Amino acid sequence: MKITKIFFHLINLAFLILYLYPGSILGFLLYGNFSKQPQVTPDFILSSNHVYAFIVLTLFGLITHRNKKNIIIYFIFISIFLELFHLLIPNRSFQFGDLFGNIIGVLISFLILKIYNYLEKK
C-alpha cells in the first residue's frame, strides 16, 4: 500500500474521531475547553471549518483512490452521515450550515481536481 493511501486512512480515522467525539478535542488542545470550537474564518451561510476540513479530506481521497466515482459517493455519504450523527451525540448539534459546508467541501475538491486534470492535459 502506498504511503499516500496510508496517510489518507490515518487522516480519515482522525477526522472521524474528531467529528464524532462529544465535545471539541481541538478546542481542548487549543483553549483547554471541550465546549469551545476553534474557528479558522468567520462563518457566513455555511460553516467554513467544515468546508476546509472536507476539502482536505476529499482531496487526499481523490488523489489516493483510482475509482473517483466511488470515493465521491463515499464522501457525500460520510458528509451527510456524520452531521446527522450529531443528533445522537451529547454536546454536539446538527446544523444545516455544517451539513452544507461538508457537501460544498466535497464538491470544491472534486472541482479542483477536475480543473487540475484539465490543465494538465493542455
In tens, the pLDDT along 28-51 reads 788 888 777 777 777 777 888 899
7-32, pLDDT tens digit by residue? 889 999 998 998 898 888 877 788 88
DSSP 32: S
DSSP 23: S
pTM: 0.85
Q: Is the dihedral of CA 83, 88, 90, 95 positive or negative?
A: positive
Residue type for position 95: Q
d(CA 31, CA 47): 20
Q: C-alpha grid cell for residue 22? A: 462529544
Can you give the pLDDT at residue 1?
A: 63
